[in-house]
């Protein structure tokens, strides 16, 4: 459940046959998560959704543990049923009031989820609280151009040092181009006609409102790597 990532000039990410159908969505997780070495780390993913990203990170990137947190009880139940790994657990919780003690994790991961939160400032303060000193917050999401310009100050106000930042809108658009036809076919088969326009926007299929906002640069997709001093 993300817009995906595809670098036309990069090498394809090696994936297992089981993961291949989710290639572009996994590539976004890989690109964001591997901003730091995750070997042996304790990771919290806030907004883990249906759990595929947390599962990939746990299985393939070598952390000691991954905790996927999501507001939806239904999503958490789904994840517990579908995704099984010794170093992976899922919990229900609120991004703006994290149910963990101070200095609990080495890394916090947040991919294409924070645009849904009521307060980005509160979320950032909570992430800062649960990170160990020297820990990393690796984040990616989209914003309209105006709010995107505020991200740097929001992260710094929470106490983070900005280690790196980049716009990845072109790579996200390329992924949307590559998977647009498949998404459109699925919508036509599975969604009642009256709801298809809304689903096309949600999925970001080519020429949808969301796709056009990215293409016309009214909306940008950014990534940040942040460190707790």
Categorise residue 139: left if φ over 0, alpha if ψ from -120 to 50, beta otherwise: beta
Q: Produce one character per residue of 193-224: b if its CB has 16 or more CB atoms within 10 Å, e if not.
A: eeeeeebbeebbbbebebbebbeeeebbbbbb
Query: pLDDT category, 1, cuts 50, 70, 90?
Result: confident
- Give residue-wise pLDDT tens across range 29-81: 999 999 999 999 999 999 999 999 999 999 999 999 999 999 999 999 999 99
Q: Give the pLDDT of residue 75.
A: 98
What is the strand order of the sheet 161-167 is part of?
88-92, 65-70, 42-46, 105-111, 131-144, 219-227, 161-167
pTM value is: 0.95
**Interval 12-26 mean pLDDT:** 96
The CA distances from residue 217 to 142, 148, 206, in Å, are 11, 12, 15
- Give residue-wise pLDDT tens across range 110-163: 999 999 999 999 999 999 999 999 999 999 999 999 999 999 999 999 999 999
Instruction: Give the helix, strand, coil percentages of the chain, each rounded to 5.
Output: 45, 25, 35
What domains, with CATH codes, occur in the chain?
A: 20-169+220-227 (3.40.50.150)
């Amino acid at each position: 459940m993300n817009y995906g990532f595809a670098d036309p000039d990069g090498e394809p990410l090696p994936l297992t046959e089981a993961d291949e159908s989710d290639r572009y969505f996994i590539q976004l997780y890989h690109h964001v998560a591997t901003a730091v070495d995750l070997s042996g780390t304790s990771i919290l993913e806030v907004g883990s959704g249906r759990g595929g990203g947390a599962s990939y990170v746990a299985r393939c990137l070598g952390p000691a543990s991954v905790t996927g947190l999501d507001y939806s009880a239904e999503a958490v139940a789904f994840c517990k049923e579908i995704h099984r790994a010794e170093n992976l657990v899922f919990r229900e919780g609120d991004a703006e009031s994290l149910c963990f003690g101070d200095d609990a994790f080495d890394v916090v991961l947040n991919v294409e989820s924070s645009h849904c939160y009521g307060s980005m400032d509160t979320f950032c303060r909570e992430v800062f609280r649960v990170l160990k000193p020297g820990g990393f917050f690796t984040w990616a999401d989209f914003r309209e151009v105006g709010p995107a310009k505020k991200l740097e100050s929001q992260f710094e106000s929470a106490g983070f040092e900005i280690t790196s930042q980049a716009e990845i809108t072109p790579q996200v658009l390329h992924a949307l181009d590559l998977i647009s036809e498949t998404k459109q076919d699925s919508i036509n088969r599975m969604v009642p006609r009256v709801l298809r326009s809304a689903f096309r926007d949600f999925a970001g299929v080519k020429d949808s409102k969301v796709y056009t906002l990215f293409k016309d640069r009214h909306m940008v997709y950014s990534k940040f790597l942040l460190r707790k001093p």
